[in-house]
Copies of this chain bind each other. A is one copy, B any other.
Amino acid sequence: MRIGVLTGGGDCPGLNAVIRAVVKTAVTDYGMEVWGVKDGYRGLVEEELIPLGIEQVAGILPKGGTILGTSNRDSPFRYGIKVNGQYVYSDQSDKVLHVIDQYKLEALIVIGGDGTLTIGQKLSEKGVNVIGVPKTIDNDLSATDVTFGFDTAVTTAVEAIDKLHTTAESHHRVMIVEVMGRDAGWIALHAGLAGGADVILIPEIPFTIEAACKKIAERNERGRHFSIIVAAEGAVPLGGTPVTSGVNEGNIYNPLKLGGIGKFVQEKIVELSGHETRVTVLGHLQRGGSPTPFDRILATRYGTAAVRALARGEKVSMVCLRGQDVTTVPLIEAIKQLKQVPPQGDLVKTAKSMGISFGEPQES
C-alpha cells in the first residue's frame, strides 16, 4: 500500500511529530510506502512529492514547523496561478486525482485545519481515501478533546506573562498580552489562569472596559499597583464587533481597524483610568518552537492512529482524542464544529475564584 501525507494551513508545533509517526507506523507496522506532498495541496497540483522513509524522519520529533512545507490558500478546487502579475483561478482537482493515480497513492493523510480538512472531504467525494488529522492551535474543534500545538502555544504565552509580571510589578503598570484565539478563548483562558492574570478577555464573554478598570482599581486599593490582562485576539467589547489583529491565517476581518484588540484595550484603559499601560502581541511566537512533551505525544498518537485507520479500511475519517483514547470520527461531522469556552464552565468558575475578571458588565 502506498499513501501520501501533507500538511496545510498555519504553523503548529507537532506537525513534524505527526509526519514522523505516520511514516514510522506505516513503514514498520504495515510495510506501506509513504510519499510526502510538498507545501500542502500545492504539491499535488504541481507534482512535487518526495519519498519518506525512516531516515527522512529521523530527528524531527522535537522540531517546530513541517519538513513538508505548507501553504495556506492553495485549494485544488480554486487554484491560483499568476498570469501577468494577476492570480487566475481554476479547478485543478482532476489534476490532483491524476497525480494521485500516477503515484499509485491509495490514500491521503491530510494534517490541517478547517480549510485543509474541507478540501480533503471534497477529494473523498471524488473517490480519494482521506484520513484527516486535526490541527488547530486554538484548540477550538469540538470533535476532539484537545489538539496538538495548543499546549505549546499556552506554554509560550505563560513564559511571556511570567516575564512581564516582574516588570509590571516594578513599574506599576498594566500589561496587556494579546494571544491567539479568533473564535475561541482557550489559549487566553489557560494562559491567564496559569500566568496569574487579573483580567482575561475572550470572544465568548463580551467585556466592558469599565469592568476591567474596576478590577485594576480594586488592586490599586490593595496596594497592588499593577495588573496583567490577557486578551484573545477575537475578544469583543460588549455591543461591539470582533476586533482581530490578523495574527491568524485565512480570512481576516478587522472592522474597527484598530490594530488589534490589545491596542484597543490599551487606549481605552489609558483614556478611562490614566494608568500607564503597555501591550505585547505574541503573534507568531505562539506557533513556533519545539513542541512540549504533551504535544509531541499527542501528535505521535494522532499520526499512528491515522495509519491504523487506513490499515483497518477506513476511507474518510478524522482522528481525535476522547478522554484518554485516540479514535476516529467521520470527517464530514468533524469539520467546522466550533468548540468555544463555556462561560459557566468549571475553568471560568475556577478563574473567577482566583479573582480573575472577565470584564463582564455586572462586575462594574
Contacts and interface: CB of A to CB of B under 8 A. Distances in A.
A257 interface: no
Contacts of A11: 166-167, 170-171
A296 B94 CA distance: 50
Contacts of A39: 172
B69 A170 contact: yes
B323 A346 contact: no
B145 A65 contact: no
Given A61-B196, A293-B190, A300 B167 contact: no
B323 A323 contact: yes
A136 interface: no
A163 interface: yes
Interface in A184-212: 190-191, 193-196
Q: How many copies does the complex hold?
A: 4
Contact of A29 (B175, B290, B353): B353
Contacts of A217: none
A326 B346 CA distance: 8
B280 A285 contact: yes
Interface stretch (A96-104, A148-156, A232-240): A148-156
Contacts of A323: 323
Given A170-B69, A194-B293, A62 B162 contact: yes
Contacts of A71: 171
B28 A346 contact: no
Interface residues of A, number: 79
A331 interface: no
A354 B24 CA distance: 6
B160 A300 contact: no
Contacts of A318: none
A24 B170 contact: no
A297 interface: yes
Interface in A322-340: 323-326
Given A191-B293, A293-B154, A167 B350 contact: no
A288 B346 contact: no
A69 to B, nearest CB: 6
A7 to B, nearest CB: 8
8 contacts: A11-B166, A15-B170, A155-B293, A160-B285, A162-B290, A281-B281, A297-B347, A325-B346
Given A20-B354, A64-B163, A301-B347, 4 more contacts: A66-B170, A167-B288, A304-B353, A325-B346
